[in-house]
Structure 1
Amino acid sequence: MSHPPCFSNGCLRWDHHDEVEFCSEQVEIVFSAFYSTVKHIGEMASAVQKRDVTKHLNETWLHYLRSAATEAEWQRNQYVPTVEEYMIEAVNSFAEGPIMLTSLYFVQQKLEEYIIKDPEYHELLRIKGNCGRLLNDTRGFERESSEGKLNIISLLVLQSGGSMSIEAAQEAVQESIASCRRDLLRMVVGEDRVVPRVCKEVFWRFCRTVHLFYCQTDGFSSPKEMLRTMNAIFREPLKLQHTSPLDAQSEQ
């Protein structure tokens, strides 16, 4: 399967994208803004880490872009992937890799390279990514189906040969989500190994945040739902019950 020119040689072409012919001015504008933002974040993260971490950040973003390009090619060619093929690319296109790594570089002031290359880190990323993607697919199923897009629920139904209903597929996905949350929590509270506990706790906080986005609706396509939540947290003052000094004394 081929990829756009800027992916063909990995980070080499990432830093020399000016040599690539963009398919349109709009694509060039979007990519330039994206590239500048990632580069700026990499410079800030490198200052915090006191070493150059831009290469690995670039690699994680390229990994995301490759999967996004693969999904676009599937849709363009009307290719129906297997569940296994879909989950590999769909988890990557959920952008867990760059989002988590960027956050951790600013949380853990000494995040050595061996840590982010350790199997424990990749397992945390895999479980967290699976949970987020399954939650996203659950809430986005009806909208994506109307747009002709495949997700995990429609693929489960298709590959069952008619033996699984949409409702049964949704229940199976919910069970998988619950299993992912248990597995992730088990790793977070378990014995410390390579990944620092403060980093593992960030994985769990992100998991809870994604669950908030998708617990009732698709938070990204329903901004009003999220706006109410944000207002409740940041804008609406806490209603504290005030007691007078006399009341406090009488309680004692």
Structure 2
Amino acid sequence: MCSFLGETNRLAYVAEGLTRLNDWQELMKYQRSNGSLFNSPSATAAALTHLHDEKCLEYLSSLVKKFDNAVPTIYPLDIYPRLHMIDNLIKLGIDRHFTEVIATTLDDIYRSWMQGSEEIFLDPACCALGFRLLRMNGYEISSDALANFDKQENILNSMSDINSALELYKASQMIIFPNEPVLERIYDWTRTYLENELVDYALKHPYASLERTESRRYIENYNVDNISLLKTSYRYFNIDNRDLLTLSFQDFNKCQAIHREELDYLESPFPPDLSDARISWAQNTVLTTVVDDFFDFAGSMEELLNLIELIQRWDEHSTIGFKSKDVEILFYAIYGTTNDLADKASKQQGRCVKKHLIDIVRTPEQAVETQEYNNLFMHVSIIGRLLNDCVTVAREGAQGKLNSVSLAIVHGRGAVTEKEAQEEVTRLIESHRRELLRMVQQTKGSVVPKDCKDLFWKMSKVLHLFYMGDDKYSSPHKMVSAVNEIINEPILLPPYSKLD
């Protein structure tokens, strides 16, 4: 893999094939600290032939000692394969089985990052992938490291560019601070570039996805042969894709069986061993929908105030009474579900959490009074509310109801169009999404467990999926194929993908 700095660099990368057409002295500006040109033995050997450079000789001599009569296409090539392996484990949905080795590997790569490793910073795909995985796992790194790749002309014009541009595009989604212009510029040019290259799915679904559907898609299209094109075809010697495919295939179908046992609840962001959490999540999602509708149009003001008072009194609700049968049914649904969840949580945690559930769910003891939980809930709730408003403005307008989009139009007093109001709300969504991501990745000063924070991020992705383009939450039939992929349809690998 070479540093991607334009047409001149591309020619330099294949310098051994151009012989006398090269300005060899000029090409030596690409020499790395290990003496090589682009970590390429063939390009370095050509430079040695023409210039008799001592550092080139040292690099090639070290390869001969290490590999005897044969050398790899690229050397060293260590960091990118390890990053690629971690990314594969995540995409295949089996990363939870390798948490310790992933953490150790990322620690090692972080050290290389802080030391300014050429293997990372001279290759856009490696740099972008490393940035994304490190930042997503809470490592404090600056986006300025990607500054060399913030313009389209810094990427070569070849098929490998699509992978590099796609990695850079994904990295640009990791904006967590108000002022990260490098990532903004990378987002702008990579999106345009990938649109021209018809990389449609990744552009339309940057956040709108479920992990298990993504895993299924990746498993079904997995590169078992594990061959990459560098100067020649190259197979990563330390990655056995067939073993990974087999494990991910078995893991997916096992998880699917567990999901079916859970009464066909929709796929959720919980791993297979947390069935109670998954069921409670589904129950509370249904309750949230019912309560939302009750407050929107079903309940009178007297009923709404009655329900609020009942919840505030909780175990003393019998002293208040119910204003209607609807209030009674809804309160007891909330009351029973919350108490049931509290009983299950108490068995797991060894302490009573009912009081916290009545207020808002909080897990660790030291986090009970923290504002961090409130902020996580606030951001994901606002994201869901605004996403819903964007796709339901016409329907709710016909019903005589206002939402954030229509309110922006009203407050504009005729100066704001619906499109402009939609764009403003979209900017608000992006702002809250970035702040949510920052909080999820934050380690210093955070008392909320990472696993718990991840649920908020995954929930925001589910919300994007439901409200991508239209309101799929109110139209369940539009989600049938996604549900079937997770719950009802086992993965059937093609014959050439199966192990003997």
TM-score, scaled to structure 1: 0.70
- Consecutive unaligned residues in structure 1, runs of 5 or more: 61-100, 106-110
Give the aligned partner of residue 225 of structure 1: 478
Say if 1:42 and 1:53, in contact at 8 Å, map to a contact too. yes
1:143 aligns to 2:395 (yes or no): yes
Q: Secondary structure of the residue that 1:176 maps to in structure 2?
A: helix
Moved over 3 A (4+): 5-11
Alignment equivalent of 2:447, drawn from 171, 186, 194:
194
Q: Find 1:212's aligned residue among 460, 465, 488.
A: 465
Q: Note closer, same or farther for the CA distance 1:240–1:165 as it changes in structure 2 (3 Å cut).
A: same
Shift of 1:169: 0.5
Find the counterpart in structure 2 of residue 4 from structure 1.
305
Matches within 5 A, 1:78-227: 101=361, 111-192=363-444, 193-227=446-480
Take 1:129 and 1:26, find their aligned partners in 2: how far apart are those partners? 25
Take 2:394 and 2:350, find their aligned partners in 1: how far apart are those partners? 46
- The more displaced of 115-124 and 213-222 is 115-124
Amino acid of the structure 1 residue aligned with 2:400: G
Q: 1:148 to 1:6 in 2, by over 3 A?
A: closer
- Tell me what 2:355 maps to: 55
Report how many aligned residue pairs link the two structures.
Answer: 198
Match of 1:32 in 2: 332
- Cα offsets for 1:113-148 (capped at 9, x unmatched): 331421222222222221111111112212211111
Instruction: State the secondary structure of the residue aligned to 2:427.
Output: helix
| C-alpha contact 2:306 2:322 (8 A) present in aligned 1 | no
Relative distance call for 1:189 and 1:25 in structure 2 (3 A) is: closer
Q: Which structure: greater helix fraction? A: 1
Q: Determine the structure 2 residue equivalent to 1:69.
A: none
Distance 1:240 1:176 in 2: 42
Contact 2:379–2:432 (CA<8 Å) still a contact in 1? Answer: yes
The residue aligned with 1:44 is 344
Q: Secondary structure at the match of 2:496?
A: coil
Displacement of 1:6 after TM fit? 5.3
Judged with a 3 Å threshold, the aligned counterparts in structure 2 of structure 1 residues 211 and 190 are, in CA distance, closer, same or farther, namely: same
Q: Which runs of 5+ in 2 are unaligned?
A: 1-300
SS of residue in 2 equivalent to 1:243: helix
SS in 2 for 1:22: coil
Corresponding letter in the other structure for 1:59: D
Checking the alignment, whether the CA contact within 8 Å between 1:116 and 1:122 is kept in structure 2 is no
| Seq. identity, % | 38
Residues 75-109 of structure 1: CA deviation (Å, up to 9, x unaligned): xxxxxxxxxxxxxxxxxxxxxxxxxx3xxx6xxxx
CA RMSD of aligned residues (A): 2.6
Q: Which has the larger radius of gyration?
A: 2
1:7-26 counterparts in 2 under 5 A? 7-8=308-309, 11=312, 13-26=313-326
Q: What TM-score results when the alignment is normalised by the length of structure 2?
A: 0.37
